[in-house]
Amino acid sequence: MSGERRLRIRPAGEEDLGPIVRLDAEAFPADPYPYFVLRQFLACFPDFVFVVDDGADLVGYVLSTPPNAAHSWILSLGITPGLRGQGLGRQLMTRILSHLRGEGVHAVSLSVEPGNDTAVALYRSLGFLPDPGGPRADYFGPGAHRLLMTLTM
Ligand SMILES: CC(C)(COP(=O)(O)OP(=O)(O)OC[C@H]1O[C@@H](n2cnc3c(N)ncnc32)[C@H](O)[C@@H]1OP(=O)(O)O)[C@@H](O)C(=O)NCCC(=O)NCCS
């Protein structure tokens, strides 16, 4: 990584909970994960959370599930607004996918808002394919449609 600040991708620790809660609220202002969910996620699956650390603060995070029958889900990905478009989202995804490969994962799925062109473009460029049936209506409740995408590796 380059830039004025030394950015480093590393596994998350319990002390990262507060910044991850903030990043999640920045990434998904309308529907962030509740604090207790992120706390439990970090406690239960600490090896499946990676963050981007600028030395003073966290500027990105990604969460995935541990594999179940060699299949994992990416549950969240976010980069702080001021640092988007600089390759950090791609680097975080590359890091978690490499970790998942090492854990024996052969398929990774995620859900994305169908109109989130940036995220859909990122996932497509990494090899994720959309569900052939298109977005699933009301996937996360009334009006919350989602496109499911899967990477086979
Ligand atoms: C989606 C998100 C994580 C991408 O992170 P990022 O660091 O901005 O993305 P990157 O700079 O690594 O770009 C990766 C790819 O995304 C796409 N992309 C990035 N910025 C884009 C833009 N403004 N318009 C369209 N596509 C764009 C491109 O395909 C890009 O690949 P390229 O660099 O080869 O052109 C980030 O925008 C974000 O946090 N958004 C809010 C939360 C969110 O939507 N998360 C995903 C939910 S499923």
pLDDT at 4: 64
Ligand 1 centroid, distance to 48 Cα (angstroms) = 21
Q: How far apart are CA 59 and CA 23, in angstroms?
A: 7
What CATH architecture applies to the domain 8-152?
Answer: 3-Layer(aba) Sandwich (3.40)
**Mean of the per-residue pLDDT values for the chain?**
96
pLDDT at 48: 98
- Best of 75, 122, 124, 145 for a ligand 1 pocket test (most atoms within 8 Å of beta carbon): 122
Q: Could you read off the pLDDT of 86-119 as tens digits, one per residue?
A: 999 999 999 999 999 999 999 999 999 999 999 9
DSSP element (H, E) containing 42: helix 35-44
Domain spans in the chain, listed from the N-terminal domain onward: 8-152
Q: Does residue 115 sit in helix, strand or coil?
A: coil
Q: What is the mean pLDDT of residues 64-76?
A: 98
Instruction: Look at residue 21 and tell me whether its pLDDT is greater than 70.
Output: yes
Q: What is the DSSP letter of 13?
A: -
The tokens 């990676």 sit on which residue?
50
